Chain A
Amino acid sequence: MTQARAGLRETCRAEVEEILARYPERRSALLPLLHLVQREEGYISEAAMREVAEIVGCRPVDVFDVVTFYTVYHRQPVGKYLLEVCRTLSCALLGGRKLTRHLEERLGIQAGETTADGLFTLREVECIGACSNAPAMLINNRIYENLTPEKLDAILEQLRAEASERVAPPEGERQGLP
């Protein structure tokens, strides 16, 4: 069950209007509206798809078609860091698969899953346009190229450190004091 959500038209009314105003056809606003949903809610729920369909004037199944087409749209909540390893030809030839296996082992999850602490989601995706420096991956939409398992370990370490800094804010702030 999805939790009760306040509609996009309530939470981001102005932005929705701005997006719709960009195009002569309401339907053209489909992709940016889905991005807006994802920014606000972290993923795209069934309720959100219905709402977007209503806003642009198409059927929910049309939105579902689009959401399942693009790997950039998440149908489930994802971790703080989304690791997307390319599995298309150039990367595959240069050891992309090995990278995925390495990450699976290090994180203790399978591709498609999220770590228990909610920090990492690992996925395999089709070509991300970095063939010249394969193998490559995306981390929260930032591209990382010429990867090796050693480099991955360093990256993971860095991300963990960054997360713990942010997750544990200074004492005063945590208590909500000025």
Chain B
Amino acid sequence: MSDATVDTVTLTIDGIEVSVPKGTLVVDAARKAGIEIPVFCSHPKLEPIGACRMCLVRVEKIPKLITSCTLQVAEGMVVTTNSAEVAAARAGVLEFLLSNHSLDCPFCDKGGECDLQDHTFRHGVPEGRFEEPKILRQKKPMPPIIEKVMSRCVHCARCIRYCDEVMGVGALRFINRGVCTEPAAFMDGGLACEQCGNCIEVCPVGALTAEFYDLKARPLDRKQTNSLCQYCGDGCTMTIEVKGRHSGETHIIRTRGHDGQGVNDEFLCVRGRFGYGMVNSPERLKQPLVRRDGELVPATWDEALDLVATRLAEIRERHGADAIGGIGSEKCTNEEAYLFGKLLRGVLGTNNVDYRTEAKRPFQAASLARLLALAPPEGALWRLRHARLVVLVGADLTSENPWSEKQIIQATAKDHQRVLLAYPRRIRPVEYASRWLRHAPGTEPALLRGLAGLVANEAQAEQVAATVGVAPDELQAFAKELQDAPDVVLLLGPRVCAGTDPDAAMLAAAQLAQTLGVRRPAGADGPKRVDVVVLARHNNTRGAQDLGLLPDTYPGYAGMKTAGFAPEWGEALPTRPGKSTPEMLAAAAHGELKALYVLGANPAVAFPDGERVRQALAGVEFLVVQDLFLTPTAQQADVVLPAASFAEKEGTFTNGEGRVQRVRRAMEPVGEARADWEILQAVAGRLGRPWPYLSAGEVAREITRLVPLYAGLSYQALDLPVSNFLVRPAPLAAAAAEPVVSGGAGPAAPSGEYPFVLLTGQTLFHSGTLSPWAPEMRRLAQHAYVEIAPEDAATLGVADGERVRLVSPRGALSLFAHVQPGGAPGILFLPHHFAEAPANVLLDAAAAVDRVRVEKE
């Protein structure tokens, strides 16, 4: 007997012989044989519990009916699901489930897509035998979002299990067990959790619903489109549901995970599930605006586009192509990123193009490509689930990449993975990390270099520990665990590149991976496996990088080699590296940069030193902004072009692991808004370069032809349940340039006038400048705030919720204080996406670490 047959089990279900892998559950084996066994509690992503009794079947040699969702197949097993006995059992279970059910289906959000309705229709009996009055219960809110109607609950515990097993949160438990059993939070009150709403998604009935969707639509009212989430770089697939017959009234009513599709297995985080409202916002730009007599006034597309083309041509004529610059976006599609580069480089003739709007110093494209070449070939998400050791540096994973985090949470819960964390603030990973190096803010480069040195036995633990501000034995133990692990994933978050020395940090990370890789752990045969994952904060950060929205490379990390693009993009392509965002803004302030084209970016609230940014933007002769909203950047523009949102256009995003996936048009753009690629094409045309694209797909075809990294891409292949098109730069391309490594900076000395270190970043509820436009997300996090440690709050005499004023050498900001239990004294955290309290006014683009003082208001 071969191994293959040992691992396969053959059984008979309703007379059909079926062979399945050992360990398969009978309910799944039946599905494979084309026999549907009704279930409530059984769920493909959750451990079986056999709670609902709906899946009872007869198995030969077992005296009673048995739950097929908890029974593993056995060789020669004979299962019956179609007998009168099984039918009676199903009808009986349904009769019990309906005995206290309110039958309020016409007023239930789940009406028409409810497992209880479907099962009752197929397997139930029309009349129940219970004569007693029903125990009916009212709708109960579980603030802030979820509503609970216990008369509809079937006690399958999917909500509780999902929250435990996948989220690792455990917010829900069954309370009042007995006839009134119900899932509830502590004291049956509000939910203090991540508000992801996955409990709603897995609920087979209408027991848990979202207040935002409550009684908004019937299933027939909705049009569903499978697309992608627009928030972080994990690239979750989701279904967008819209309502409304014609474009004027169309709006998104719900987004949800798509069953069995995408990298995310139906999961969505809070931003994915409830962050859609920005598309529906009445504040959306609906027509082009041009500045006349100092005021932005509505204009026709022709007027606006003509003005853009004329002014850009004029400025190029007068000051040369390098007097023009472009800041693109990590949110737009690959096709749009590509065309933005093509417009700037091919049509206007400058390499002044970048997508980074927050970085104090730009990293070199070669540094990035070197790290991307070390990415796991199976995809980072899969790898995170299976690695033995994950080292998390500079990432607040919970807020930044929720699905990546859930891979780690599931792996650590099953005890096959350990997590090492290096982060200056207390964040959720502290709960499940086995070690936490609370290093001084801004010392990420020094830490990575130090670890590389320690692993190579070339550095002194005492010295490194002093530089990064941790205890030497902690650092030593951290490094030792790195050395001993059989395989490692090194996870690099945005803080690694946030300082003033990103290239040093990235090189150190590469060196660390390399040094670890050649070391063989004790007792292992082969070389040690080391993967590096560079986390992507936005939905298409990776695509913007891959497709060349960087001043020192053309698409595909080809550097300044224009060969592949020369005839196609234009005859004389610029070959000297252009200016990065900080350089463009500096040049604008000095009057060297005359025109700036901003595509979906918002430097006015994102780039450090907000006041100086606003001055720089005011200083350019001609500013054109393409965006969804009249952002603070757009308010300074000479021409504002209304762009379509992610739900209103076609294209592709490349997620952080390099997976290219399709985003689809779920509705018509609002007002006169147009997709960014269409606008770019119109501008190019008016500059005398008519591009031939009839669709985003045609742009994609050009990308596959000209960018070797994306060769072989086809929209059809992206339509699989999970796109299998993974992009990974070749190691060769990365070895091009060696960045100059300066010494890693140590902790900045505290200063009397500005005693607090200020860290800025995103939170779970807001990740940038889009989510604050979603009223649903505003409900969850309304006001700008600053997190302060309890010790510091006590010293300053500041209570939670009081207003304080932060003062830095660059500016001042007034907002609410949030006293954070467990926060580190001396460190403040400020979410950076509230336009009414822009964190960037406090930041100093030249400082490795930002410092402020706190004043009571």
The answer to whether A61 touches B171 (Cβ under 8 A) is: yes
CB distance from B186 to the nearest CB of A (A): 4
CB distance from A123 to the nearest CB of B (A): 14
- Taking a contact as CB atoms closer than 8 A, the residue among A49, A59, A126 that contacts B170 in the complex is A59
The answer to whether B175 touches A59 (Cβ under 8 A) is: no
Please name all residues of chain B whose beta carbon is closer than 8 Å to the beta carbon of A49 when the two chains form the complex.
186
Please name all residues of chain A whose beta carbon is closer than 8 Å to the beta carbon of B184 when the two chains form the complex.
61, 64
Within 8 A of B (CB), among A40-66: 46, 49, 59-62, 64-65
Q: Max chain B CB contacts within 10 Å: which of A49, A59, A61, A68?
A: A61
The answer to whether B178 touches A65 (Cβ under 8 A) is: no
Rounded to whole angstroms, the CA-CA distance of A49 and B189 in the bound complex is 14
Closest to B188 in A: A64
Rounded to whole angstroms, the CA-CA distance of A61 and B174 in the bound complex is 9
Chain A facing B: main interface SS = helix
Asked whether A69 is an interface residue with its Cβ less than 8 Å from the other chain, the reply is yes
Closest to B169 in A: A59
Count A-B contacts at CB 8 Å.
30
Please name all residues of chain A whose beta carbon is closer than 8 Å to the beta carbon of B78 when the two chains form the complex.
none
The answer to whether B173 touches A65 (Cβ under 8 A) is: yes
Closest to A75 in B: B187
Q: Max chain A CB contacts within 10 Å: which of B170, B178, B186, B187?
A: B186
Interface string of B166-208 (1 = CB under 8 A from A): 0000111111111000001111100000000000000000000
The answer to whether B175 touches A64 (Cβ under 8 A) is: yes
Rounded to whole angstroms, the CA-CA distance of A57 and B829 in the bound complex is 28
The answer to whether A64 touches B177 (Cβ under 8 A) is: no
The answer to whether B178 touches A64 (Cβ under 8 A) is: no
Closest to B174 in A: A65
Residues of B within 8 A of A (CB): 170-178, 184-188
The answer to whether A64 touches B187 (Cβ under 8 A) is: yes
Rounded to whole angstroms, the CA-CA distance of A62 and B187 in the bound complex is 11
Q: A61-B185, A64-B186, A64-B187 are in contact. Are A126 and B174 (CB under 8 A)?
A: no
Rounded to whole angstroms, the CA-CA distance of A41 and B672 in the bound complex is 68
Rounded to whole angstroms, the CA-CA distance of A46 and B188 in the bound complex is 11
- Taking a contact as CB atoms closer than 8 A, the residue among B173, B176, B178 that contacts A61 in the complex is B173
Rounded to whole angstroms, the CA-CA distance of A2 and B177 in the bound complex is 25
Within 8 A of B (CB), among A63-122: 64-65, 68-69
Rounded to whole angstroms, the CA-CA distance of A49 and B184 in the bound complex is 15
Rounded to whole angstroms, the CA-CA distance of A88 and B716 in the bound complex is 63
- Taking a contact as CB atoms closer than 8 A, the residue among A61, A69, A126 that contacts B186 in the complex is A61
The answer to whether B177 touches A69 (Cβ under 8 A) is: yes
Rounded to whole angstroms, the CA-CA distance of A46 and B172 in the bound complex is 16
Cβ-closest 3 pairs across A and B: A65-B173, A68-B175, A61-B186
Please name all residues of chain A whose beta carbon is closer than 8 Å to the beta carbon of B172 when the two chains form the complex.
61
Residues of A within 8 A of B (CB): 46, 49, 59-62, 64-65, 68-69, 126
Please name all residues of chain B whose beta carbon is closer than 8 Å to the beta carbon of A46 when the two chains form the complex.
187
The answer to whether A59 touches B186 (Cβ under 8 A) is: yes
Please name all residues of chain A whose beta carbon is closer than 8 Å to the beta carbon of B174 when the two chains form the complex.
65
Q: Max chain A CB contacts within 10 Å: which of B171, B173, B174, B187?
A: B173
Rounded to whole angstroms, the CA-CA distance of A126 and B178 in the bound complex is 10
Show 29 A/B contacts (Cβ-Cβ < 8 Å), sorted by A: A46-B187, A49-B186, A59-B170, A59-B186, A60-B186, A61-B171, A61-B172, A61-B173, A61-B184, A61-B185, A61-B186, A62-B170, A62-B173, A64-B173, A64-B175, A64-B184, A64-B186, A64-B187, A64-B188, A65-B173, A65-B174, A65-B175, A68-B175, A68-B176, A68-B177, A69-B175, A69-B176, A69-B177, A126-B178
Rounded to whole angstroms, the CA-CA distance of A61 and B184 in the bound complex is 8
The answer to whether B177 touches A61 (Cβ under 8 A) is: no
Please name all residues of chain B whose beta carbon is closer than 8 Å to the beta carbon of A59 when the two chains form the complex.
170, 186
Given contacts A64-B187, A69-B175, 5 further A-B contacts (CB under 8 A): A59-B170, A61-B184, A61-B185, A68-B175, A69-B177
Please name all residues of chain B whose beta carbon is closer than 8 Å to the beta carbon of A68 when the two chains form the complex.
175-177
CB distance from A12 to the nearest CB of B (A): 23
Q: Max chain A CB contacts within 10 Å: which of B170, B174, B176, B187?
A: B187
CB distance from B717 to the nearest CB of A (A): 44
CB distance from A97 to the nearest CB of B (A): 14
Closest to A46 in B: B187
Rounded to whole angstroms, the CA-CA distance of A49 and B170 in the bound complex is 16
Please name all residues of chain B whose beta carbon is closer than 8 Å to the beta carbon of A64 when the two chains form the complex.
173, 175, 184, 186-188
Rounded to whole angstroms, the CA-CA distance of A132 and B173 in the bound complex is 35
Closest to A58 in B: B170
Rounded to whole angstroms, the CA-CA distance of A126 and B179 in the bound complex is 11
Rounded to whole angstroms, the CA-CA distance of A59 and B170 in the bound complex is 8
Rounded to whole angstroms, the CA-CA distance of A46 and B174 in the bound complex is 17
Please name all residues of chain B whose beta carbon is closer than 8 Å to the beta carbon of A65 when the two chains form the complex.
173-175
Closest to A65 in B: B173
Rounded to whole angstroms, the CA-CA distance of A68 and B187 in the bound complex is 10
CB distance from B206 to the nearest CB of A (A): 23
CB distance from B274 to the nearest CB of A (A): 23
Please name all residues of chain A whose beta carbon is closer than 8 Å to the beta carbon of B176 when the two chains form the complex.
68-69
Please name all residues of chain A whose beta carbon is closer than 8 Å to the beta carbon of B170 when the two chains form the complex.
59, 61-62
Closest to B185 in A: A61
Rounded to whole angstroms, the CA-CA distance of A46 and B187 in the bound complex is 7
Rounded to whole angstroms, the CA-CA distance of A60 and B188 in the bound complex is 11
Rounded to whole angstroms, the CA-CA distance of A61 and B170 in the bound complex is 8
Rounded to whole angstroms, the CA-CA distance of A62 and B784 in the bound complex is 33
Closest to A53 in B: B186
Closest to B178 in A: A126
Rounded to whole angstroms, the CA-CA distance of A62 and B171 in the bound complex is 9
Rounded to whole angstroms, the CA-CA distance of A53 and B391 in the bound complex is 30
Rounded to whole angstroms, the CA-CA distance of A160 and B177 in the bound complex is 34
Rounded to whole angstroms, the CA-CA distance of A36 and B57 in the bound complex is 46
Rounded to whole angstroms, the CA-CA distance of A108 and B336 in the bound complex is 77
Please name all residues of chain A whose beta carbon is closer than 8 Å to the beta carbon of B175 when the two chains form the complex.
64-65, 68-69
Rounded to whole angstroms, the CA-CA distance of A49 and B188 in the bound complex is 13
CB distance from A48 to the nearest CB of B (A): 12
CB distance from A64 to the nearest CB of B (A): 5
Rounded to whole angstroms, the CA-CA distance of A46 and B177 in the bound complex is 19
Rounded to whole angstroms, the CA-CA distance of A59 and B164 in the bound complex is 12
Rounded to whole angstroms, the CA-CA distance of A59 and B185 in the bound complex is 10
Please name all residues of chain B whose beta carbon is closer than 8 Å to the beta carbon of A69 when the two chains form the complex.
175-177
CB distance from A63 to the nearest CB of B (A): 8
Closest to A61 in B: B186
Please name all residues of chain B whose beta carbon is closer than 8 Å to the beta carbon of A62 when the two chains form the complex.
170, 173
Rounded to whole angstroms, the CA-CA distance of A126 and B176 in the bound complex is 13
Rounded to whole angstroms, the CA-CA distance of A126 and B177 in the bound complex is 12
Please name all residues of chain A whose beta carbon is closer than 8 Å to the beta carbon of B188 when the two chains form the complex.
64
CB distance from A51 to the nearest CB of B (A): 13
Closest to A66 in B: B173
CB distance from A137 to the nearest CB of B (A): 19
Please name all residues of chain A whose beta carbon is closer than 8 Å to the beta carbon of B186 when the two chains form the complex.
49, 59-61, 64
Closest to B172 in A: A61
Q: Max chain B CB contacts within 10 Å: which of A49, A59, A68, A69?
A: A68
Rounded to whole angstroms, the CA-CA distance of A146 and B384 in the bound complex is 64
Please name all residues of chain A whose beta carbon is closer than 8 Å to the beta carbon of B185 when the two chains form the complex.
61
Closest to A63 in B: B186
